[in-house]
Amino acid sequence: MSTLERLIGVIQPAAKQAEFLHSSHKIERLRSTRSHRMIHLRDKQHFVRRLSDQLLAKGHEIARSPKNHEIDLVLRIDNKKRTPIIADLQLLDSTQTLGNILFAMHELSTTRGVICVSSLKGLSRSISSLFSKYGVNIITPKALLRELK
C-alpha cells in the first residue's frame, strides 16, 4: 500500500477528491520520474501513430507540425483549413495542453483545435466546457473519425 493510499484512508475524502489526488500524483510522477516519462512517451507515440494511420486510411490529409513540437498532427480539411491535433492517452495537464493547442491555433490562423484522448472516462465536464469556449474539442479517435465523415 502506497503512502498516498494510506493518507487517503486516514483522511477519507469524497470519491471525487480521492480521484483528483490520484490524478495529481500520477501527473507529478510522470513529470519527475524519467522511467515513467519514457513509458508514457512510448505509449503516446504508439497512440499518435495509430491515430494517424486511421486518419490516412479514411483518406484525410495529415502532417506533422514543423514549427510547434507540442502538436502531434495537423489535419488539413478541404485543402484550406488546418486543424491542430494533440493526441495523448489521457489529458494529464489541462492548463499546459490548453496553452499548447491555443498557441498552435494562433500559428495556423484557425479557430478550431482537437485534443484526442483514448477515453473520456474520468475527464471533468468543466474541463470540456472550458476548452469548447476556445474552439477546442476533446474527443476520442472514434468520435474524431465520425465527425470528419
Half-sphere exposure of 99 (CA within 13 A, CB side): 4
Contact yes or no for 29/2 (Cβ under 8 A): no
Q: Which residues of 101-113 are buried (b: 16+ CB within 10 A; e: fewer)?
A: bbbbbeebebebb
Sign of CA dihedral 108, 90, 133, 76: positive
CATH number of the 33-147 domain: 3.40.91.80
| Cα angle for residues 142, 129, 61 (degrees, 5° grid) | 35
Cell, residue 30: 510522470
Return all residues near 40 (Cβ < 8 A) that are at least 6 apart. Answer: 30, 89
Nearest to 92 by CA among 64, 67, 70: 70
Residue 46 predicted with pLDDT over 90 = yes
Between 72 and 121, name the one with better pLDDT. Answer: 72
pLDDT value for 17: 85
**pLDDT tens-place string over residues 99-149:** 999 999 998 899 999 999 988 876 767 788 899 999 999 999 999 999 987
Over 90: is that where the pLDDT of 8 sits? Answer: no
Domain boundaries, the chain: 33-147
